[in-house]
Amino acid sequence: MSRPTLERGLALLLRAVSRLLLALLSLVQSFGSRDLRPVPPAVQPLLLLPGVELARRIRQRQVKCVDVIQEYINRIRDINPIVNALVAERFAAALREAQQVDDRLAEANEDEKLLEETVPYLGVPFTVKEAIALEGSPNSSGLVSRKNVIALTDAAVVTNLRKAGAIPLGVTNCSELCMWYESSNNVYGTTRNPYNVDRIVGGSSGGEGCIIAAAGSVMGVGSDIGGSIRIPAFFNGIYGHKPTTGLVPNDGQFPNAMGLKAEFLCTGPMCRYADDLIPMFKVMAGPNISKVKLDEEVYIKKVKFYSMEHDGGSPFLSKVDKELIHAQRRLIEYLEVQFGVQVQHVQIHKMKYAFQIWSAMMTASEADGKEFKSFKDLMADGGKEIKPLWELMKKVLGISPHTFPAIGLGIVEDLAKVDHRSNVKLMSMCHNLQTELSSLLGDNGVLLYPSHPKIAPRHHHPKLMPFNFAYTAIFNVLGLPVTQCPLGLSKDGLPLGIQLVANHHNDHLCLHVAQHLESAFGGWQNPGAS
């Protein structure tokens, strides 16, 4: 039997076992006593405005900045005990900064247009993923050994947002070391989905996705090396943008990406309203924003749309939920009827190997002898060497400080020694796929592709379908810009969504299409609202 045939057979066996275990886990969970209600809907008017509109009203002295910040603090205090999204607050400092904004506007007759240009988010609250430095706030990345680490300075993107006038409220939960798509760790616990607390919020920027969706924040800062912005944005029904590689500075994050991995990490905006995507992106990117054409008008009729409903059938990944396929088809129907465009269905064969390609590219820095830090090194955080199998035994005994996913990744790293020959083949496949997609998309193409094969799963279920993040991860190693766009709710009241993918430095295409679709499909849906 050939090696590819054996690998496929093992993958299919693992998939069958995973389905059985998922069914058993669901059965066990169904017997538990759980309150599955969503968070109460946001009803205060100030909570239901985009950041750009809040900033306009503050500039025009229509509303006090202190009142805006206080309203968000009240909302967080109402919903955070339910969802556990914000893990450290700076409310007193935020209120002082809000008062300074009000004093500035009362004392000086500054030109409104100049204010809009220099401080476009004056007085607008935002939150930050805990793995990204916010001065005076924890910066553990969910690692127990770092639970007392406090950021001494702001990350570059936080500095940029503060210079634009925005006011940070605190930091939000993530997965341990940002390498898992359920936001749960042994420092802060588990974050729960605002639409149904029995469901996950995604990771690693899961706390950000949750607090924004629950109307506890207008917008936030996330980072993405395999889908860590887009998966939480999808599961929580908000907007998230992974920019073209290299546009937004990644400085001030833990863990820091090194070697080739640094080329795949992207920091980007997460927000409830599509109106904030481009203004946030401009602020976060700083001078690099000149490399993209964000102010160029986009005519939907002139965009070439392509669609893929699934990855082609990888045996490692779950099948795409039917409701997600139907949502994608409704989107296609809308584009064809409303604009007369012909959405071309494509089958890109190499997408079936997304997980293998991403894995090969992530370990390529080790294979090429470049600067490399293993996941075990990150878990150790400069301390005693971690032995994952021993750590697993400790976990069973309840004495390990690490989560099962982190330990599992360490074990996989130990067992799966880098196969240089296979890596070279997969890296070549990655390059060819990048060329194929770039040629297909050109300067006016957008690919419609699922954000994830499953609608927000129940807690712990990702452990039995660990590779599903490949639907987002492939675009990190390809360096393409991607916007996650909400498409309403499922029959169970959980968010649906789609990835809008464009060619390098054509971020404006997917961002403008997302803005248009907000009015057509409703955008963010208020959790708990009828």
How does residue 526 score in pLDDT terms, banded at 50, 70 and 90? very high
Task: Please name which of 508, 447, 496, 501 lies closest in space to residue 475, comparing C-alpha atoms.
Answer: 501
Mean pLDDT of the chain: 92
- Whether residues 483 and 494 share a domain: the answer is yes
Asked if residue 13 belongs to a domain, the reply is no
What digits encode the pLDDT tens for the residues 132-153? Answer: 999 999 999 999 999 999 999 9
Measure the CA–CA gap between 452 and 458, rounded to whole angstroms. 14
With a pLDDT cut of 70, the percent of the chain lying above it is: 90
> Does residue 495 lie within any of the structural domains?
yes
Q: Are residues 403 and 377 in the same domain?
A: yes
As annotated, the active-site residues are: 129, 204, 228
Query: Are 353 and 449 part of one and the same domain?
Result: yes
The closest alpha carbon to 225, from 347, 440, 375, belongs to 375
pLDDT band at residue 40 using 50, 70 and 90 as cut-offs: very high
Q: Are residues 384 and 443 in the same domain?
A: no
453 lies in some domain: yes
What's the total number of domains in the chain? 2
31 in any annotated domain: no
Q: Are 445 and 461 contacting, i.e. CB atoms less than 8 angstroms apart?
A: no
Amino acid symbol at 34:
R
Whether 370 shows a pLDDT value over 70: the answer reads no
Question: Residue 415's pLDDT is what?
Answer: 72
Has residue 10 been placed in a domain?
Answer: no
Candidates 487, 481, 472; CA nearest to 511 is 481
DSSP class of 276 = G
Hey, how many other C-beta atoms are within 10 angstroms of the C-beta on 124?
Answer: 31
* 370 and 359 part of one domain: no
Segment 41-68 shows an average pLDDT of 98
Residues 312 and 196 in one domain: yes
191: alpha, beta or left, given left = phi > 0 and alpha = psi -120 to 50?
A: beta
52, 97: one domain: yes
| Residue 505 confidence (pLDDT) | 98
Q: Return the closest-CA partner of residue 197 out of 509, 507, 494.
A: 494
54 lies in the same domain as 107: yes
Task: Output Rg (C-alpha) for the chain, integer angstroms.
Answer: 22
Which SS3 state, helix, strand or coil, does residue 380 take?
helix
pLDDT at 99 over 90: yes
DSSP-assigned letters across all residues of 214-228: TTS-SEEEEEESSST
In this prediction, residues 476-480 reach a mean pLDDT of 98
The verdict on 319 and 425 lying in the same domain is yes
Helices (H), 370-501: 375-380, 388-396, 404-415, 420-441, 470-478
Of the residues 397, 415, 433, which one is the last residue of a structural domain?
A: 415
Give the end of a domain, one of 383, 415, 447. Answer: 415
Q: How does residue 256 score in pLDDT terms, banded at 50, 70 and 90?
A: confident
411 and 432 assigned to the same domain: no
Secondary structure (DSSP) of 303-345? PEEEE-SSSS--TTSPPPPHHHHHHHHHHHHHHHHHH---PEE
Q: What is the pLDDT of residue 363?
A: 83
CB 459 within 8 A of CB 200: yes
Tell me if 30 is assigned to some domain: no
Residue 487 contacts residue 334 (beta carbons within 8 Å): no
**One domain for residues 272 and 301:** yes
Q: How many CB atoms lie within 10 A of CB 345?
A: 10
Over the stretch 189-244, which tens digit does the pLDDT of each residue have? 999 999 999 999 999 999 999 999 999 999 999 999 999 999 999 999 999 999 99
| Residue at which a domain ends, from 415, 447, 477 | 415
Specify the pLDDT at position 367: 46
Confidence of residue 23 (pLDDT cuts 50, 70, 90): low
State whether 390 and 332 are in the same domain: no
Of 29-33, 351-355, 368-372, where does mean pLDDT reach its minimum?
A: 368-372
Domain that residue 380 falls in? 366-415
Q: Are 155 and 189 in contact (CB under 8 A)?
A: no
